[in-house]
Chains A and B, each alone.
Chain A
């Protein structure tokens, strides 16, 4: 039987992988994917808690998170494309006009 605790551990693992990915990877697309991992960890958490409390709030919240993540992805990829047009790189280390 898979309990709420197991889902929480899975979510915590995903969250950790995402945070480490954001902090160590240098490719912007991969950083971006790591952020999506964090958001999906949150979704697992929300749905697991929704099951635990036996109401729908968490599931509705997860739907909202998915929607907002889609909007954010659209804007984020737009920004990446604008950057790529002016400077052909997606490596975070080469984006150095401003001091990090």
Chain B
């Protein structure tokens, strides 16, 4: 009786997540015994948890590849493992920069790290799930943890507001997504994505219910990645949230949502390709253009980076529209690159925070080259990488995505994408001009904590290394091609 429901494999596959859950609980318990001065140990606990999980994941990669568990609800293929590694790296970097920022804000508590780890568990299940029930629960585990984290600064009104907007629109989009899922279940009679694909292929191509399902699913998922016209929540959430959390939600959950989109569209909705490719093409063009053009007029660096992240979501959609091996590899490598360059630049924004300065205005960076030459040069490297200029890593990511749409003969899209990359140069360099050409407004230098320094060192090394010697990383990213099997 019992064996019918549980197999030994089940526990084996989710071992990294079990470890993370254990450490999430552990952080909260240990926090109770720590004095105010020792709260930094919470960050260490969380990092140890991530290191253990990474090791467990590495063991799984060599021992238990392509095992499925829980009655085919989750599948541990190399696509899932690749994205889990990206999440682990991004989360570890965010935890590194959090401790000092939280103590400046006066909110240095253990539940912060516990929530980050729980969100990480949600993301891991999002990439492993091949069943719509698992995917939905994982998505909500990630999202609910994020709502709390965005509103983590309880006495800060901006943080409250950001959490409110993020929560309302996030819950709304989950509802729409769920409506699409229910219709998909209705026409196929199953929640397994592979069965859904088979059943959809047997139905006539312009089935109205299937069309409604695709439209609502697309709308719900676009909300999560901030695609136009469902992007309004994103700049507000990014600006109001604690900077470390903005760092987190701009990378890991976005990658998780994209992985979810890839699973649903490439595996489940492949038979309806003719109905979603044109829609996504329009969304992709709008997202890139609106993100880049709105970013030009921003005076707040957090908002500027938020719009730039909308534009990047547009570039990433190119890979999905192409839907071929080049496109998927492109999305995978882009997220690895994006994790490093985006966390790098956000780390500097976090480091700008002082007791008396929020440090989120572009003007606050005036004359940075005279005060902190190192930080200014790092910022330049990360901005070049975001703009996609060789020899930085951003170029490799953009190259793959743009090449993929050229391979599938979407020439117009490719041209628009390249034009957009040119527009983005303008506002990235506006920041550079302020840093290098303006007079400094005060004398106080940035103080960099050991965690921030480590994070900066790692992100800088990888941003340059992936740009100069990309082969091993591309081979790593090609793990994600197991999606097609």
Identify the A interface with B (CB < 8 A). 8, 11, 15, 18-19, 22, 28, 31-32, 35, 38-39, 41-42, 45-46, 48-49, 52-53, 55, 57-58, 60-61, 64-65, 68, 71-72, 75-76, 78-80, 82-83, 86-87, 95, 97-100
Contact = CB atoms under 8 A, between A and B. Distances in A.
Chain A binding surface, main DSSP class: helix
B167 A79 contact: yes
Given A83-B163, A98-B240, 14 more contacts: A28-B168, A38-B178, A45-B179, A46-B182, A49-B185, A49-B189, A57-B191, A61-B136, A61-B191, A65-B178, A79-B167, A83-B161, A97-B240, A100-B236
17 contacts: A11-B182, A35-B168, A35-B171, A35-B172, A38-B176, A42-B181, A52-B186, A61-B132, A61-B191, A65-B136, A79-B167, A83-B160, A86-B156, A87-B157, A97-B158, A98-B158, A100-B165
Contacts of B151: 79, 82
Interface string B135-178: 01100100010011001001111101111110110011011101
Contact of B175 (A42, A55, A60): A42
Contacts of A79: 147-148, 151, 160, 163-164, 167
A75 B142 CA distance: 13
B346 to A, nearest CB: 18
A95 to B, nearest CB: 5
B185 A38 contact: no
A75 B148 contact: yes
Chain B binding surface, main DSSP class: helix
Interface in B107-139: 132-133, 136-137
A82 B433 CA distance: 40
A85 to B, nearest CB: 8
A44 to B, nearest CB: 9
A8 B212 CA distance: 13
A72 B175 CA distance: 11
Interface in B78-134: 132-133
A35 B175 CA distance: 7
B17 interface: no
A68 B140 contact: yes
A72 B164 CA distance: 12
A45 B181 CA distance: 10
B160 A60 contact: no
B164 A83 contact: yes
A71 B144 contact: yes
Q: Sorted from nearest, which 9 A-B pairs have the closest CB atoms?
A: A38-B175, A45-B182, A49-B186, A83-B160, A98-B236, A53-B189, A42-B178, A68-B140, A86-B157
Nearest to B216: A15
Nearest to A73: B171
A91 B73 CA distance: 42
Contact of B171 (A55, A72, A95, A99): A72
Nearest to A4: B186
A28 B168 CA distance: 8
Q: How large is the interface on B (under 10, 10 to 19, 20 to 34, 35 or more residues)?
A: 35 or more
A80 B164 contact: yes
B162 A98 contact: yes
B168 A31 contact: yes
A22 B160 contact: no
Contact of A64 (B133, B186, B189): B133
B243 to A, nearest CB: 15
B239 interface: yes
A85 B28 CA distance: 26
Contacts of B236: 98-100
B481 to A, nearest CB: 30
Nearest to A44: B182
Nearest to B134: A64
Contacts of A98: 158, 161-162, 165, 235-236, 239-240
Contacts of A15: 179
Contact of B185 (A11, A57, A95): A57
A42 B154 contact: no
Contacts of A78: 148
Nearest to A31: B168
Given A38-B172, A100-B232, A45 B155 contact: no
A49 B190 CA distance: 10
Contacts of A53: 189
B292 to A, nearest CB: 18
Nearest to A76: B167
Nearest to B139: A68
Contacts of A35: 168, 171-172, 175
Nearest to A35: B171
Contacts of A99: 235-236
Which interface residue of A28, A49, A82 has the most chain B CB atoms within 10 A?
A82
A28 B164 CA distance: 9
B175 A64 contact: no
Contacts of B176: 19, 38
Contacts of A65: 136, 178
B453 interface: no
A75 B160 contact: no
Contacts of B174: 72
B155 A86 contact: yes
B98 to A, nearest CB: 20
B157 A32 contact: no
A42 B158 contact: no
